[in-house]
Amino acid sequence: MKALIYTAIAAACLVPLHATADNHQQPVEVVADQLDLDQRAGTAVYTGDVEVRQGNMLIKGDEVQIQRNDEGELSRATALGERAYLRQHPEDQDAPMEGWGRRVVYHVAERRVELIDQAEIIQRGDRFTGGYLEYFIDREVIQARSDVENQESQRIRMTLQPEE
């Protein structure tokens, strides 16, 4: 029985995160206090100071929910917490993109990140905050909204650094 549980945990940890072209070939490392895995549904819920790493992608939260598609590949990762966190450092850039929110949702196929409720993104020294931020990884596009469902409006703020 223990061997079956360890095999299930290992299989859940081998889900690709596709942050950059080479990341899907990197091993996935997950550290958490607890794992609830449903093989049939293709879901894994990690709780307790969770860190998910693959290549140059890092996701942190009090809880991280991972959903897989029919091929067993990651389709979505959702980090929850007071300050859930996502960092991606593209190889062709000097600094990483860092994002925070009470909920951080990474949509793998779309290469899109949603940062929800007290959202913040820092990219190349520029800082964006608001109720809802959406970041399109490949295009390096940020869309911001002040409204968050069932929350008080959180005004959008932006600080842009001057060009050198």
What pLDDT is attached to residue 25?
59
What pLDDT is attached to residue 22?
55
Q: What is the pLDDT of residues 131-158, one digit of tens each?
A: 999 999 888 889 998 887 777 778 889 8
Residue 149 CA to residue 116 CA, distance in Å, equals 9
β-pairing, 57-68 vs 74-88, is: antiparallel
What pLDDT is attached to residue 27?
67
Q: What is the pLDDT of residues 4-23, one digit of tens each?
A: 333 333 333 333 333 344 56
Contact 140, 106 (CB under 8 A): no
What pLDDT is attached to residue 2?
35
pTM, entire model = 0.80
What pLDDT is attached to residue 24?
56
Return the domain boundaries, the chain: 2-159
User: Among residues 119, 149, 146, which one has the least CA distance to residue 135?
Assistant: 119
Query: Residue type at 144?
Result: A
Contact 131, 153 (CB under 8 A): yes
What pLDDT is attached to residue 117?
94
**Can you list the residues of the chain whose pLDDT is less than 70?**
1-27
> 117: which 2 tokens?
């409720």
Q: Report, at the CATH architecture level, how domain 2-159 is classified.
A: Sandwich (2.60)
